[in-house]
Amino acid sequence: MKSLEELRAIKERVQNQVAMREDKTGALRVQVGMATCGIAAGARPVLNAFVEECTKRNLKNVIVTQTGCIGICQFEPVVEVVSADGEKVTYVKMTPEKAIRVVNDHLVNGNVVTEFTIGANS
Amino acid sequence: MRELSLHVMDIVQNSLSAGASLTEISVTEQGKQMAIAIIDNGRGMSQEQVKSVIDPFFTTRTTRKVGLGVPLFKMAAEQTGGSFSISSELGAGTRLTAVFQTTSVDMIPLGDINSTISLLIRCNPDRDFLFRRAKDGKEFTLDTRELRRVLGEGVALDAPEVMEWIDAYLAEQTETIFGGTI
Protein backbone atom coordinates (compact mmCIF):
# COMPACT_ATOMS: atom_id res chain seq x y z
CA MET A 1 0.00 0.00 0.00
CA LYS A 2 1.19 3.49 -0.81
CA SER A 3 1.47 5.35 2.44
CA LEU A 4 2.49 8.81 3.55
CA GLU A 5 5.50 7.10 5.15
CA GLU A 6 6.64 6.08 1.71
CA LEU A 7 6.15 9.64 0.51
CA ARG A 8 8.34 10.82 3.37
CA ALA A 9 11.05 8.43 2.21
CA ILE A 10 10.74 9.81 -1.32
CA LYS A 11 11.18 13.30 0.08
CA GLU A 12 14.44 12.35 1.80
CA ARG A 13 15.72 10.73 -1.36
CA VAL A 14 14.69 13.44 -3.79
CA GLN A 15 15.51 16.52 -1.75
CA ASN A 16 19.15 16.59 -2.76
CA GLN A 17 18.52 16.16 -6.45
CA VAL A 18 15.99 18.95 -6.56
CA ALA A 19 18.43 21.83 -6.67
CA MET A 20 19.51 20.77 -10.15
CA ARG A 21 16.00 20.29 -11.41
CA GLU A 22 14.80 23.67 -10.19
CA ASP A 23 17.08 25.48 -12.58
CA LYS A 24 14.67 26.00 -15.45
CA THR A 25 16.40 28.84 -17.24
CA GLY A 26 16.63 28.22 -20.94
CA ALA A 27 13.83 25.69 -20.67
CA LEU A 28 11.56 24.63 -23.48
CA ARG A 29 7.85 25.04 -22.76
CA VAL A 30 5.41 22.51 -24.15
CA GLN A 31 1.88 23.91 -24.01
CA VAL A 32 -1.01 21.57 -24.68
CA GLY A 33 -4.38 23.19 -25.45
CA MET A 34 -6.78 21.92 -22.79
CA ALA A 35 -9.99 23.86 -23.35
CA THR A 36 -13.28 22.12 -24.22
CA CYS A 37 -12.28 21.85 -27.87
CA GLY A 38 -8.85 20.38 -27.14
CA ILE A 39 -10.06 17.89 -24.54
CA ALA A 40 -12.90 16.70 -26.77
CA ALA A 41 -10.44 16.17 -29.62
CA GLY A 42 -8.18 14.01 -27.44
CA ALA A 43 -5.73 16.36 -25.75
CA ARG A 44 -5.50 14.39 -22.50
CA PRO A 45 -3.71 11.34 -23.95
CA VAL A 46 -1.41 13.73 -25.81
CA LEU A 47 -0.54 15.63 -22.62
CA ASN A 48 -0.03 12.31 -20.87
CA ALA A 49 2.31 11.11 -23.61
CA PHE A 50 4.43 14.27 -23.31
CA VAL A 51 4.60 13.95 -19.52
CA GLU A 52 5.51 10.26 -19.63
CA GLU A 53 8.07 10.55 -22.40
CA CYS A 54 9.79 13.54 -20.77
CA THR A 55 9.90 11.71 -17.43
CA LYS A 56 11.23 8.56 -19.09
CA ARG A 57 13.98 10.50 -20.81
CA ASN A 58 14.63 12.53 -17.68
CA LEU A 59 14.45 15.82 -19.60
CA LYS A 60 15.24 18.54 -17.11
CA ASN A 61 14.99 21.57 -19.39
CA VAL A 62 11.39 20.92 -20.49
CA ILE A 63 8.26 22.27 -18.83
CA VAL A 64 5.08 20.50 -19.90
CA THR A 65 2.04 22.61 -19.18
CA GLN A 66 -1.49 23.29 -20.35
CA THR A 67 -3.07 26.28 -21.97
CA GLY A 68 -6.56 27.35 -22.98
CA CYS A 69 -8.20 27.66 -26.37
CA ILE A 70 -6.05 29.58 -28.82
CA GLY A 71 -8.85 29.88 -31.36
CA ILE A 72 -7.99 27.18 -33.89
CA CYS A 73 -10.37 24.51 -32.60
CA GLN A 74 -10.52 22.68 -35.93
CA PHE A 75 -6.83 21.82 -35.52
CA GLU A 76 -7.05 20.43 -31.98
CA PRO A 77 -5.30 18.81 -30.21
CA VAL A 78 -2.85 21.70 -30.59
CA VAL A 79 0.57 21.71 -28.94
CA GLU A 80 2.89 24.71 -28.88
CA VAL A 81 6.58 24.35 -28.21
CA VAL A 82 8.08 27.64 -27.03
CA SER A 83 11.84 28.01 -26.78
CA ALA A 84 13.66 30.24 -24.31
CA ASP A 85 14.00 33.03 -26.86
CA GLY A 86 10.24 33.07 -27.39
CA GLU A 87 10.20 31.28 -30.73
CA LYS A 88 7.07 29.20 -31.08
CA VAL A 89 6.30 26.08 -33.10
CA THR A 90 2.64 25.06 -33.36
CA TYR A 91 1.86 21.37 -33.86
CA VAL A 92 -1.69 20.45 -34.86
CA LYS A 93 -3.95 17.38 -34.86
CA MET A 94 -1.67 15.70 -32.38
CA THR A 95 -1.81 12.10 -31.16
CA PRO A 96 0.19 10.34 -28.42
CA GLU A 97 2.33 8.71 -31.13
CA LYS A 98 3.10 12.07 -32.73
CA ALA A 99 3.85 13.47 -29.27
CA ILE A 100 6.57 10.90 -28.71
CA ARG A 101 8.15 11.87 -32.03
CA VAL A 102 8.06 15.55 -31.12
CA VAL A 103 9.83 14.76 -27.83
CA ASN A 104 12.50 12.71 -29.56
CA ASP A 105 13.11 14.90 -32.61
CA HIS A 106 12.30 18.40 -31.42
CA LEU A 107 12.81 18.53 -27.65
CA VAL A 108 15.82 16.24 -27.53
CA ASN A 109 17.52 16.82 -30.86
CA GLY A 110 16.28 20.26 -31.79
CA ASN A 111 14.77 19.26 -35.13
CA VAL A 112 11.27 20.64 -35.71
CA VAL A 113 8.92 17.92 -37.02
CA THR A 114 7.74 20.01 -39.94
CA GLU A 115 5.10 17.55 -41.16
CA PHE A 116 3.07 17.93 -37.92
CA THR A 117 3.16 21.75 -37.85
CA ILE A 118 0.24 23.99 -38.68
CA GLY A 119 2.05 25.20 -41.79
CA ALA A 120 2.05 21.71 -43.29
CA ASN A 121 -1.55 20.94 -42.29
CA SER A 122 -3.60 23.94 -43.36
CA MET B 1 -16.96 14.00 -24.99
CA ARG B 2 -16.44 10.31 -24.54
CA GLU B 3 -15.73 10.25 -20.83
CA LEU B 4 -17.15 12.17 -17.87
CA SER B 5 -13.59 12.46 -16.58
CA LEU B 6 -12.82 14.63 -19.60
CA HIS B 7 -15.74 16.88 -18.67
CA VAL B 8 -14.27 17.11 -15.17
CA MET B 9 -10.91 18.15 -16.60
CA ASP B 10 -12.65 20.78 -18.70
CA ILE B 11 -14.80 22.18 -15.88
CA VAL B 12 -11.83 22.37 -13.51
CA GLN B 13 -10.05 24.61 -16.04
CA ASN B 14 -12.77 27.16 -15.25
CA SER B 15 -11.92 26.92 -11.55
CA LEU B 16 -8.25 27.39 -12.32
CA SER B 17 -8.85 30.42 -14.50
CA ALA B 18 -11.03 31.83 -11.71
CA GLY B 19 -7.88 31.80 -9.61
CA ALA B 20 -8.90 28.98 -7.27
CA SER B 21 -6.13 27.91 -4.91
CA LEU B 22 -8.12 24.86 -3.83
CA THR B 23 -10.41 22.82 -6.05
CA GLU B 24 -12.38 19.95 -4.61
CA ILE B 25 -13.46 17.17 -6.94
CA SER B 26 -15.67 14.40 -5.70
CA VAL B 27 -17.17 11.41 -7.46
CA THR B 28 -19.72 9.59 -5.37
CA GLU B 29 -21.51 6.46 -6.49
CA GLN B 30 -24.44 5.23 -4.51
CA GLY B 31 -26.59 2.49 -5.98
CA LYS B 32 -27.72 3.59 -9.43
CA GLN B 33 -26.63 7.20 -8.99
CA MET B 34 -23.35 8.93 -9.52
CA ALA B 35 -22.76 12.48 -8.34
CA ILE B 36 -19.86 14.58 -9.52
CA ALA B 37 -19.18 17.75 -7.56
CA ILE B 38 -16.59 20.42 -8.28
CA ILE B 39 -16.15 23.06 -5.64
CA ASP B 40 -13.59 25.82 -5.86
CA ASN B 41 -12.54 28.87 -3.89
CA GLY B 42 -11.96 31.04 -6.95
CA ARG B 43 -13.31 34.51 -7.52
CA GLY B 44 -16.87 33.31 -8.06
CA MET B 45 -19.56 34.72 -10.30
CA SER B 46 -22.40 37.17 -9.98
CA GLN B 47 -25.94 35.76 -9.96
CA GLU B 48 -26.34 37.02 -13.50
CA GLN B 49 -23.22 35.20 -14.67
CA VAL B 50 -24.35 31.99 -12.96
CA LYS B 51 -27.53 32.11 -15.02
CA SER B 52 -25.71 32.74 -18.27
CA VAL B 53 -22.98 30.14 -17.79
CA ILE B 54 -25.33 27.35 -18.88
CA ASP B 55 -25.97 29.26 -22.09
CA PRO B 56 -23.68 27.95 -24.86
CA PHE B 57 -23.37 31.46 -26.24
CA PHE B 58 -21.82 32.80 -23.08
CA THR B 59 -18.08 32.69 -22.56
CA THR B 60 -15.37 34.77 -20.96
CA ARG B 61 -12.83 33.86 -23.56
CA THR B 62 -12.09 36.25 -26.34
CA THR B 63 -11.07 33.89 -29.12
CA ARG B 64 -14.62 32.97 -30.12
CA LYS B 65 -18.21 33.49 -29.11
CA VAL B 66 -19.25 30.10 -27.76
CA GLY B 67 -18.52 28.40 -24.44
CA LEU B 68 -19.59 24.79 -24.45
CA GLY B 69 -17.89 23.34 -21.36
CA VAL B 70 -20.65 23.77 -18.79
CA PRO B 71 -23.61 23.30 -21.21
CA LEU B 72 -22.15 19.99 -22.46
CA PHE B 73 -21.62 18.72 -18.91
CA LYS B 74 -25.18 19.72 -17.98
CA MET B 75 -26.50 17.91 -21.05
CA ALA B 76 -24.50 14.77 -20.17
CA ALA B 77 -26.17 14.69 -16.74
CA GLU B 78 -29.69 15.56 -17.86
CA GLN B 79 -29.76 13.08 -20.73
CA THR B 80 -29.45 10.26 -18.18
CA GLY B 81 -32.44 11.60 -16.25
CA GLY B 82 -30.13 13.19 -13.71
CA SER B 83 -29.77 16.78 -12.64
CA PHE B 84 -27.34 19.65 -12.72
CA SER B 85 -26.90 22.61 -10.45
CA ILE B 86 -24.45 25.44 -10.11
CA SER B 87 -24.19 28.09 -7.45
CA SER B 88 -21.65 30.77 -6.91
CA GLU B 89 -20.83 33.73 -4.81
CA LEU B 90 -18.56 36.58 -5.81
CA GLY B 91 -15.31 36.38 -3.91
CA ALA B 92 -16.13 33.03 -2.32
CA GLY B 93 -16.10 30.44 -5.09
CA THR B 94 -18.28 28.22 -7.19
CA ARG B 95 -19.98 24.90 -6.53
CA LEU B 96 -21.16 22.70 -9.34
CA THR B 97 -22.95 19.37 -8.96
CA ALA B 98 -24.09 16.91 -11.60
CA VAL B 99 -26.08 13.80 -10.79
CA PHE B 100 -26.23 10.89 -13.23
CA GLN B 101 -28.51 7.87 -13.42
CA THR B 102 -25.90 5.24 -14.20
CA THR B 103 -28.39 2.71 -15.57
CA SER B 104 -29.54 5.04 -18.34
CA VAL B 105 -28.58 4.05 -21.89
CA ASP B 106 -27.37 7.61 -22.33
CA MET B 107 -24.94 7.41 -19.42
CA ILE B 108 -21.44 8.31 -20.55
CA PRO B 109 -18.79 6.23 -18.74
CA LEU B 110 -16.76 8.01 -16.07
CA GLY B 111 -13.55 6.94 -17.80
CA ASP B 112 -10.05 7.47 -16.50
CA ILE B 113 -10.71 9.93 -13.69
CA ASN B 114 -7.35 9.14 -12.07
CA SER B 115 -5.55 10.34 -15.17
CA THR B 116 -7.53 13.59 -15.02
CA ILE B 117 -6.58 14.16 -11.39
CA SER B 118 -2.95 13.24 -11.97
CA LEU B 119 -2.60 15.62 -14.93
CA LEU B 120 -4.31 18.45 -13.06
CA ILE B 121 -1.82 18.12 -10.21
CA ARG B 122 1.11 17.71 -12.54
CA CYS B 123 0.27 20.78 -14.64
CA ASN B 124 -0.70 23.01 -11.73
CA PRO B 125 1.81 22.21 -9.00
CA ASP B 126 1.14 25.57 -7.32
CA ARG B 127 -2.57 24.82 -6.79
CA ASP B 128 -4.22 22.44 -4.37
CA PHE B 129 -6.68 19.70 -5.19
CA LEU B 130 -8.83 17.58 -2.96
CA PHE B 131 -10.08 14.46 -4.71
CA ARG B 132 -12.66 12.25 -3.09
CA ARG B 133 -13.95 9.03 -4.61
CA ALA B 134 -16.71 7.06 -2.91
CA LYS B 135 -18.71 4.01 -3.80
CA ASP B 136 -21.47 2.53 -1.67
CA GLY B 137 -19.96 3.61 1.63
CA LYS B 138 -16.29 3.00 0.82
CA GLU B 139 -14.17 6.00 0.01
CA PHE B 140 -10.70 7.43 -0.34
CA THR B 141 -9.28 10.92 -0.65
CA LEU B 142 -6.19 12.52 -2.07
CA ASP B 143 -5.41 15.91 -0.62
CA THR B 144 -2.45 17.73 -2.12
CA ARG B 145 -2.29 19.99 0.96
CA GLU B 146 -1.56 16.90 3.02
CA LEU B 147 1.11 15.75 0.56
CA ARG B 148 2.64 19.21 0.60
CA ARG B 149 2.91 19.06 4.39
CA VAL B 150 4.80 15.78 4.16
CA LEU B 151 7.06 16.97 1.36
CA GLY B 152 7.86 20.32 2.91
CA GLU B 153 9.44 23.17 0.99
CA GLY B 154 12.21 21.21 -0.66
CA VAL B 155 10.31 18.84 -2.90
CA ALA B 156 7.73 19.91 -5.47
CA LEU B 157 4.48 18.02 -6.03
CA ASP B 158 5.34 17.55 -9.68
CA ALA B 159 8.68 15.86 -9.05
CA PRO B 160 8.61 12.63 -11.09
CA GLU B 161 9.03 10.44 -8.01
CA VAL B 162 6.12 12.15 -6.26
CA MET B 163 3.90 11.94 -9.34
CA GLU B 164 4.71 8.23 -9.54
CA TRP B 165 3.57 7.84 -5.93
CA ILE B 166 0.36 9.78 -6.63
CA ASP B 167 -0.48 7.63 -9.68
CA ALA B 168 0.18 4.41 -7.78
CA TYR B 169 -1.85 5.64 -4.79
CA LEU B 170 -4.84 6.52 -6.97
CA ALA B 171 -4.71 3.17 -8.77
CA GLU B 172 -4.39 1.19 -5.55
CA GLN B 173 -7.14 3.03 -3.71
CA THR B 174 -9.51 2.76 -6.66
CA GLU B 175 -8.87 -0.97 -6.79
CA THR B 176 -9.59 -1.20 -3.08
CA ILE B 177 -12.96 0.50 -3.14
CA PHE B 178 -14.02 -1.43 -6.22
CA GLY B 179 -12.84 -4.74 -4.77
CA GLY B 180 -10.19 -5.16 -7.45
CA THR B 181 -12.72 -5.73 -10.19
CA ILE B 182 -12.25 -2.51 -12.13
pLDDT tens for each residue of B2-44: 899 999 999 999 999 899 999 999 999 999 999 999 999 999 9
Q: Over 70: is that where the pLDDT of A53 sits?
A: yes
Residue B78 confidence (pLDDT): 95
Average pLDDT, chain A: 88
The third-level CATH classification (topology) of the domain covering A26-121 is Glutaredoxin (3.40.30)
Interface mutation target, options A17, A20, A39, chain B, most CBs of B under 10 Å: A39
β-sheet bridge partners, residue B95: B39, B87
- Interchain pair A68, B150: CB under 8 A: no
User: HSE-up of A68 (CA within 13 Å, CB side)?
Assistant: 17
Residue A39 with chain B: CB contacts under 8 Å: 1, 6, 9-10
Cβ–Cβ of B17/A68 closer than 8 Å?
yes
Which residue segment(s) compose the domain that B134 sits in? Answer: 4-177
d(CA B174, CA B182): 8
Where would I find the H helices in chain B? 4-17, 47-52, 69-78, 113-123, 144-151, 160-177
CATH number of the domain that residue B114 is part of: 3.30.565
Half-sphere exposure of B157 (CA within 13 A, CB side): 23
Choose the mutation target among B15, B116, B145, B150 for the interface with A, i.e. most A CBs under 10 Å.
B150
Q: Hey, where are the domains in chain A?
A: 26-121
CA proximity to B104, closest of B73, B84, B77: B77
Pick from A56, A5, A20, A8: nearest CA to A48 = A56
How distant is the Cα of A109 from the closest Cα of chain B, in angstroms?
22
The predicted pLDDT at position B181 comes to 55
pLDDT per residue over A61-103, tens digit each? Answer: 898 888 888 889 999 999 999 998 889 999 999 999 999 999 9
Residue B182 has pLDDT above 60, yes or no: no
Q: Which of B140, B127, B126 is nearest to B171 (CA)?
A: B140
Does residue B182 lie within any of the structural domains?
Answer: no
Mutate to test the interface with B, among A15, A18, A36, A63 (most CBs of B within 10 A): A36
pLDDT at A58: 87
Predicted confidence band of residue A18 (pLDDT cuts 50, 70, 90): low
Number of domains in chain B: 1
What percent of chain B lies above the pLDDT cut of 70? 95
CA distance linking residue B9 with residue B75, whole number of Å: 16
What's the CA gap between B156 and A98, in Å, rounded? 29
d(CA B167, CA A2): 10
* Minimum Cα–Cα distance from B150: chain A residue: A8
Reported as a single tens digit per residue, the pLDDT across B105-151 is 999 999 999 999 998 998 888 999 999 999 998 999 999 999 999 98
Interface touch B168/A2, C-beta < 8 Å: yes
Whether the complex's predicted ipTM is more than 0.90 is answered with: no
For residue B123, the distance in angstroms to the closest alpha carbon of chain A comes to 5
